[in-house]
Chains A and B, each alone.
Chain A
Amino acid sequence: MPHYLEGSRNSCALHGALQLFEAIEGVVPVIHSTAGCGVQYYLGGTRMSGGNDPFGSPPVSSSNIGQKHVVFGGGSRLREQLKNTVKVVQGDLYAIVTGCSTEMVGDDIPAMAREGRDQDWPVIYANTPGFSGDVHHGYHLAVKALIEQLPDIWKKPEEFPSGLVNIWGIIPNQDPFWRGNLQELGRLLEGIGLVPNLLLGSEQSVASWQQIPGAVLNLVLSPWGELPARLLEERYATSSIILDGLPIGTATSTLLRRLTEQLKLDTIRTEAFIAREDSRLNFQFARLADSYYRAGFQREFTLVGESAQVVGIAEFLGTSFGLLPRTLILTDNPPDSVRQRLVTRLAAIVSGYDSEVIFSEDRSEISDIIRSSEAQLILGSSLEREVSVELGIPFLALSFPLADRIVLERSYAGYRGATTLLEDIGTALLAFSREYHLC
């Protein structure tokens, strides 16, 4: 029996499905639920990741069921809403998502989607009641719906680009830097001769999702990408590389070498690419060294975020930048099957130094942990700003929810993301020192 949650940063399955569908150009979610579900998503999701509002509004189609539908069923209301959505809203694909109310009433959603398809409308559906799980579950449900139902709508393309790699596990908004992170990963894959299938973000449309069966590999970047990889292995026998988190800085070279080996790519090309990227990052390190020592960048930090971000950022800062991961708080409730693996890995990032690894999504519990951690730098979400002010510790907001930053294409992944992260952490530390006249 799950415990109550204070100030939770993981909303419900419906909202998780909405953020996945809204991240694909041309996909129109059709909410079958009460009127407020879409506005809750807008206030607690879209607005908490400034710069991620595709429609300039809350989701653009919602059946807004009333008392009558709760009592007598909402199937006919959905039929009407779907028909009119196709007429009013531009889209390549319409995705029905459901809320708690219509699921409790028992509306037959697959039948409604089938009726739509019989009219030749491109319609898929996902049963996403909020009570079925959190945003990560919603990501799974939406991805699964696309993988399983798209082949019923469109024939498999005749040809696929060679060296195509699907990228999984980066969740829109839950990773506030998802667009930039995907773009940087795409750049890196192209750098060693692969063709990235980013699936989400700019220029990623239903066409990208139709390419999925033709990939040579699934690249999984968080525990949440394991399910789609498994589904594709079953359906198309695509193999996978599974990482626990984002590759940042030198970890990127390990991934690129692994890809080169597994896919038998041109080693000389890969090594030349890595050498160029490595040397560039090393110069960045060198150029900020004066500030680093003068303002005392080297310190113990607390990091609060989704597991993919925590793994990537903590390892980069711990293994290349001399910082010490005091306390690492993973907020995304990773499945039990990976928890031990994550703890073992994260507790020993810096040899001879024990990092504390905690799973929590409760704001007050997280604040208490931070208070007792004695960290000298807090990297977390906007929800941690208050405790950082209370403790008088420098702070950078980098995980969801981000209430006071605009993120358009900024990245904290790969080589370029490593540079950006250094800029942002350095800026936060210098600004703090100035404010308190410490240097």
Chain B
Amino acid sequence: MSLLRPKAPRSREKRLDTLGAWLGTVSVASKEFAGDEIPQRIRTFAQSSNDDLLYALRILAGIRDSVTIIHGPRGCAAAGLHHIASRRNNTHWIVTNLDERDTIMGADGKLRKSVVALYRRYHPSVVFIVGNPVIAINNDDIQSVVEELHEELGLSIVPVYVTGFSSQNAVSGYDTALHSLLKYLTGEASAIEKNESLNLLSVAEHPQDRKEAQHLLEELGITLNVFPDDSTIDVFRLAVAARASIPLCPDAPEYLGAILQQKYKVPLLDVSRPVGIEGTGRWLKSIATLLGKEDTAEELHSGKAAEIARQLGSFSLKGVKVYISLSSANAFSVLDLVEELGGEIAGLTLTHLDRLHIRHLDELAARNPSLQIHVSDGQAFEEISILRTLTPDLYLGDSTHVAQVARLGIPAVSLESLALVGYSGVVRLARRIKIALANHSYGDSLAKVNSPYKDAWFRRSHNWHIKQEVK
């Protein structure tokens, strides 16, 4: 029990030495992560970036038949509109609408009333109570509301203790949400018999990506528990008795997989994203090996690979310098895909870098030691400065500042709503790239708009504002 006893897990920087600010070559990164001490970096100038609250909401948005109560002031629920507009589920987004008085007197009474009223109105299978800076600073007593009302209403109530400030890396918010989901929804592991199903861990994935992965595994004849994206809370109880867990991404669901492995003895496969022809093949084969279905996987892979090769025809990125700016594990996979398509990597921006990425860093350092890695979430000013120097032919990114990058006149493809997983993802990406490279006219129009930044900034080194943290 001890693993899940705390209210929230340790932050990624404490657990995995995660960096949110860094710039250098991949060989230096690889050396730094070979050491024991990795100093944290901070920025002396910063731009808005995701926090643990926003990442936690991404996960909660995927749980069916749920009510999400953000116990805070209005603005902490603003992203709810984004999730409603995405129309991916029927989550009800609630904010307790704390005012100044509540920040002084506390507001557990308000929270209690909200939970009871929403329970009566919707009879959801689960209610999430989500923290935020106000609640964290005030140390509001969410826990006793959870315990009392769970008892009184017989309702699953899951508190998610995100704070908005205790970790510099938003990805910690995935861990905090998953910690709470596991703690409150798995029940007694011993009560469930081991089964032959596999867990497909899908955290904040594009729905089409999740379905693509699911279809591939089903073609291998595998029974799956797909979660937490678009799942019911019952899946958590099944998951702890599964035969093994396969992550759709080694990064976002890492904590989920690790706890299932350590606490419930469900082995976690260590494998990169199923992105690209070979990447998807490796992912399938690693699962098939576990199940003794190597032949079926090989057959499936070679059939699909041949079909994709036929669809790609003469498409090639030969001679095209590509800049990649993505969440970390995604970036490493897209890098492989770009190289598979014959492209050249101009540089990388990763949302964070930590011990989970050591294998990728070492491999890259051997292959392309001088490749520049920039670690940043939302720090567009640094990226723009880097891109002006590197002048890539194509930008692949999923950040909220793709539109600012496009003002440099660099052809850009946003991967935020492009499903990349599996064999078909290769064809989708190739088509988008082909179109982006075929007509630069919109980028040329955008390039006529002034940059938000001063020329003086562009004369500084890109990492001018990244400093080692003084403890």
Contacts and interface: CB of A to CB of B under 8 A. Distances in A.
Contact of A35 (B99, B164, B453): B164
Contacts, number: 245
Contacts of B85: 47-48, 382, 401, 403-404
Given A35-B50, A39-B79, A5 B381 contact: no
Interface string B90-134: 001111111110110000001001100110010000000000011
B51 A35 contact: yes
Contacts of B94: 4-6
A11 interface: yes
A31 B75 CA distance: 14
A12 B48 contact: no
Contacts of B256: none
A252 to B, nearest CB: 32
Nearest to B100: A131
B380 A40 contact: no
B137 A36 contact: no
Chain A interface size range: 35 or more
B81 A403 contact: yes
B97 A39 contact: no
A101 B164 contact: yes
A170 interface: no
Which among B48, B50, B118 has the greatest number of chain A C-beta atoms within 10 A? B48
A35 B81 CA distance: 19
Interface string B262-287: 00000000000000000000000000
Interface in A27-44: 31, 33-44
Interface in B402-435: 403-407
Contacts of A36: 48-51, 53-54, 164, 170
Interface string A237-248: 000000000000
A90 B449 CA distance: 13
Contacts of A12: 73-76, 78
Given A4-B69, A43-B79, A43-B82, A64 B103 contact: no
A1 B106 CA distance: 12
B442 interface: no
Nearest to B118: A4
Given A43-B78, A404-B85, A132 B100 contact: yes
B75 A14 contact: yes
A44 B75 CA distance: 9
Interface in B30-51: 43-51
A67 B451 CA distance: 33
Contact of B81 (A2, A7, A53): A7
Which among A7, A15, A129, A364 has the greatest number of chain B C-beta atoms within 10 A? A7
Contact of A55 (B102, B168, B452): B452
B454 interface: yes
Contact of A7 (B73, B84, B404): B84
B74 A8 contact: yes
B144 interface: no
A38 B46 CA distance: 11
Contact of B380 (A34, A57, A64): A57
Contact of A101 (B114, B133, B170, B456): B133
13 contacts: A7-B84, A8-B95, A36-B53, A48-B81, A55-B404, A56-B407, A59-B47, A60-B380, A67-B165, A88-B465, A90-B454, A101-B165, A130-B75
Interface of A: 1-15, 31, 33-45, 47-48, 53, 55-67, 69-70, 80-81, 84-85, 87-90, 99-101, 104-105, 129-134, 363-364, 382-383, 401, 403-404
Given A1-B110, A131-B100, A404-B85, 12 more contacts: A2-B99, A7-B84, A8-B97, A33-B133, A39-B50, A43-B54, A66-B166, A70-B133, A81-B44, A84-B44, A88-B457, A99-B133
In the complex, the 5 A-B pairs of residues with the closest C-beta atoms, listed nearest first: A38-B48, A44-B78, A12-B75, A36-B51, A56-B404
Interface of B: 43-51, 53-54, 69, 72-82, 84-85, 92-100, 102-103, 110, 113-114, 117-118, 121, 133-134, 137-138, 164-166, 168, 170, 378, 380-381, 400-401, 403-407, 450-454, 456-457, 465
